[in-house]
Amino acid sequence: MAKRFLFLFITLLGASFIVFMIIHLLPGDPARILAGPEATQQEVEALRHRLGLDKPLVVQYAEFMARILRGDFGKSIVTGKPISALIEYRFVNTLKLSIVGILLSMIIGIPLGILAALHRNSRIDQLVMGFAVIGVSTPIFVIAIFLMLVFSVKLHLLPATSVTGEITLRHLILPGLALALYGAAPIARMTRASMVEVLGKEYIKVAFSFGLPRRIVIYKYALKNALIPVVTVTGLIFGYMLAGAVITETVFSYPGLGRLLIDAIFSRDYPLIQIGILFIAATFALVNTAVDILYMVIDPRLRSPRGETA
């Protein structure tokens, strides 16, 4: 368990380092980049000194980390406004969207996977898995566009109300559904594969041999084992959600961190880019750690040092 937290720490450190290095990896002078092409040489030097860009790299990194941990995310080059206020709102929106996305994908994907596994090699199985493999092959933006057209043409749910900037449940439905369909496909495939494997295990045959009713054997004995790998994959799928959110937000003009990040990249707002990526990477790392811990809770074999998965 401690190892997991250590790894999380190292990952966050590594991620922050990479993010920090963005400015320095770019071709050209970091101070000039931050100041903008119109700034005079004096202004560039002033900025350089102010931001501490003339200090050695290690010191800069330390100062960067200190700033971040204080909550001071710096100022946007483009708007000049502090990033913190902007990021919070957007980040929460993206989080909402990703959570809706992953929950819906599990609600759709897991039962479908179970269904396919129980009717292995039948028409149902082929149909479900057919949809799943197409789902995995479809770009998220195509799903998003398709949904938008279908539901906007019906004028059901507006794609986004960038009008008020307020995000209610209605605004989450379409982008959330797009993410859900995108994530349900790999989850369904994973669930089916896992379920099929578990159903072939000796302990399931033994359970039947003691006369346990079919319902209990499948939905208690088999399912609990089968869901374990699915849970671990969930962390990965959440990453898909975050990444997919970036794209989905663009299609639906949803005010989230993803769209902010893309806009920042286009406007070369490097401080904003750094913070944006850092947020996403940190979230991903934290979720994965949480999933790993959850995995340890679910599978008793991992709790005691003697436990070894066969």
212-231 residues in contact with another protein (CB under 8 A) are 212-214, 216, 220-221, 224-225, 228
Which window, 7-15, 30-38, 55-63, 166-174, contacts another protein (CB under 8 A)? 7-15
Of the pair 70, 215, the CB lying nearest another protein is at 215
Q: Looking at beta carbons only, is 169 or 216 nearer to another protein?
A: 216
Identify the residue among 179, 184, 230, 277 touching another protein (CB under 8 A): 277
The residue (of 171 and 259) whose beta carbon lies closer to another protein is: 259
Q: Does 232 help bind another protein (rule: CB under 8 A)? A: no
Interface positions, 61-90, toward another protein (CB under 8 A): none
Residue 236: other Cβ atoms inside 10 A = 15
For residue 97, give both structure tokens: 């969207």
Fill in the per-residue mask, 279 to 298: x = in contact with another protein (CB under 8 A), - = not in contact: -xx--xx--x---------x
Which CB sits closer to another protein, 32 or 120? Answer: 120
137 counts as binding another protein under rule CB under 8 A: yes
Whole-angstrom distance, CA of residue 19 vs CA of residue 29: 17
Give min distance, CB of 103 to another protein, in A: 18
Q: Give the rounded distance of the alpha carbon of 266 from its chain centre.
A: 22
For residue 242, state whether it binds another protein (rule: CB under 8 A): yes
- The encoded tokens of residue 31 equal 């101070």
CB of residue 42 to another protein, shortest distance in Å? 28
**What is the spatial distance between Cα 135 and Cα 184, in angstroms, rounded to a whole number?**
8
State how far the Cα of 187 lies from the Cα of 99, in Å rounded to an integer.
15
Q: How far apart are the first and last CA of the chain?
A: 20
- Residue 57 is a binding residue for another protein (CB under 8 A): no
Q: Please give the Cα distance from 137 to 129 (Å, whole number).
A: 12
* C-beta atoms surrounding 187 within 10 Å: 26
Q: CA of 39: how far to CAs of 17, 29, 35, 82, in Å? A: 28, 13, 6, 20
Q: How far is the CB of 54 from another protein (least distance, A)?
A: 22
The DSSP output letter for 256 is S
Smallest distance from another protein to CB 245, Å: 10
Question: Which residues ranging from 153 to 192 are in contact with another protein (CB under 8 A)?
Answer: 153
Element (DSSP H or E) covering residue 240: helix 223-252
